[in-house]
Structure formats: C-alpha cells, structure tokens
Chain A
C-alpha cells in the first residue's frame, strides 16, 4: 500500500468540487423539453444527458474531422476498461475510477460519432452492445479481484450479474417486440456511480489515512452496494414492464 497523501487528496477534492459547481451552473442553463418521465426515469435525467452531449460535442467534432471511425472509440473504451480493471486489482482505486469515467464518456461518444458520421447501423450497434458487456464485466472482474478476500466480493458479483441482466432483459424484450428504454440504473448511471464512488473512495481514504494511519474503502463499498441493489431493482422494473406489455399483447392477439 502506498503512503498517505492528504494534501493531494485535499487539492483534488477542491478541484473536483469547483468543477462540479461550474458544471451545475452550466447545467442550469440547459433547456430540455418536458417529458412524462415518472418514477421509472433514469437517475441522470434528460437535462444531464443533453448537457453532457454538449460537453463532448467538440471532441466528437474533432474526431469526425480527423476521420476516426466509431468502432475505434468502442474498442478504446474496451482498452480503458481493461486498464481500470488492472488499476482496481492492484489497489489503485482513484485511478480505476478515473478510467471508468473516461470509458463511460467514450461509450457515450461512439454512438454520437457513428450517428454524425453516418456509419450508424445494425453492425455498429451489435459491436457496441457486445463490447459494452465485455467492458462492464472486465471492470467488475478487477473490482472483484481487489476485494477477493472480503465479503464485498459477493456484492461485486451481484452488481456484475445484475448489470448484465439489465441489458439482457432489454435486448430479449426488444426481440419480442417490447420497447424498453425505462429503468432507474442504466449504463451511464452505473458508470457514474462506480467512477465517482471509486474516485471519492480514493480521496476519502487518503484524507482519513492521515488520521487513522490506515486506508479504507468504505465509500467504494457503499457505491458497490448501491450499484448492486439498484441494478437488481432495475432488472425487476424492466421485467414487470415487459411482462405486462407482453401480457397485454398476448390478450390482444
């Protein structure tokens, strides 16, 4: 385990809080059309999604001008997920969180780049979906490897399985003709929860370490418990919605 670095952690906390304040200020200026979201809406609402697309817009413009294919961004996301897994495995919690957040950003960008470049289609959608599942599984594998001697590994396994199930239920339902875009904890929310949970855990660990002399992963554990619980809830939400829709269509036919 590396030394305690409370000064760096304090500096990074101040920078992050300042950036969040700036982001909230520009978020307040974003205008979105009101939608009847209801309780099944994602935790990150339409406003955040529109704002983040605006933030990544210049990067997508640059990639489009440079002639970068959307598939390259998809594979870069996979590489970053492997890096994040390795970081988690070796105990680099803050760094793991940073890679998760960057990989999540690339996940948003590849679809936008494909749509803008006119290369969006079933082939790209399939590659994107499969790589996303791999990326998520690899990241959880790294987190699980870090907690391999603790009870938390069970939470990580539940989070990993539920995260895959969230996507599987949607894919299966859509195969049966039911559109499933609802769900509390969709992929961007999972990236945010794990990424910020890990970064927060790394910072708190170094701050607390200055007092107790030991590193703690309490914030990451809380984030993982939330991730596991909310992912499982999202699977149930989607199942209920899909079963109800299929029941109605069955009755109609």
Chain B
C-alpha cells in the first residue's frame, strides 16, 4: 500500500468513525473505527512526507 492510498483509505475510515461517533449509539465501534482510520491516515501522511517527490 502506497502512502497516498493509506491517506485516502485512512480518511474514509476516519470519516465513517466520525459519523458513527456523531450519529449513532455504537460508541465502541466508533472508537475502533476512528482509531484504525487515524493510524492509517497518519502513517500515510508520515510515510508520504519522507518520500522524494519523484518516487511518489
């Protein structure tokens, strides 16, 4: 998985987590989804920051 893909998937998972947190009563699932999305997105951001533009 490339950093760009991780960022995109992380953002989608994070937004589903935010939706669950805001709108539903499934707060445990929301926390898990938020955590998974946050870790994936953060990894994508950090990994992308250390890749030379020509290799992205």
Contacts and interface: CB of A to CB of B under 8 A. Distances in A.
**Do A and B come together as binding partners?**
yes
Q: Is the interface of A mostly helix, strand, loop or mixed?
A: helix
B22 A98 contact: no
Contacts of A206: 22
A87 B23 contact: yes
B24 A92 contact: yes
B2 interface: yes
A94 B19 contact: yes
A12 B18 contact: yes
Interface string A87-112: 10001111101100010000000000
Given A55-B8, A58-B2, A9 B22 contact: yes
Nearest to A9: B22
Given A55-B8, A58-B5, A15 B14 contact: yes
Q: Is the interface of B mostly helix, strand, loop or mixed?
A: helix
A93 B23 contact: yes
A8 interface: yes
A101 to B, nearest CB: 8
A197 interface: no
B33 to A, nearest CB: 11
Nearest to B37: A15
Interface residues of B, number: 19
A19 interface: yes
Nearest to A91: B23
Contact of B18 (A2, A55, A94, A102): A94
B2 A95 contact: no
Contacts of B20: 95
Contact of B21 (A8, A22, A59, A91): A8
Q: Which 6 A-B pairs have the closest CB atoms?
A: A95-B19, A92-B23, A12-B18, A94-B19, A58-B5, A8-B21
Given A95-B24, A202-B19, A206-B22, 19 more contacts: A2-B22, A2-B23, A2-B25, A5-B22, A9-B22, A11-B18, A12-B14, A15-B14, A16-B15, A22-B7, A58-B5, A59-B5, A94-B19, A94-B22, A95-B23, A98-B19, A102-B12, A199-B15, A202-B22
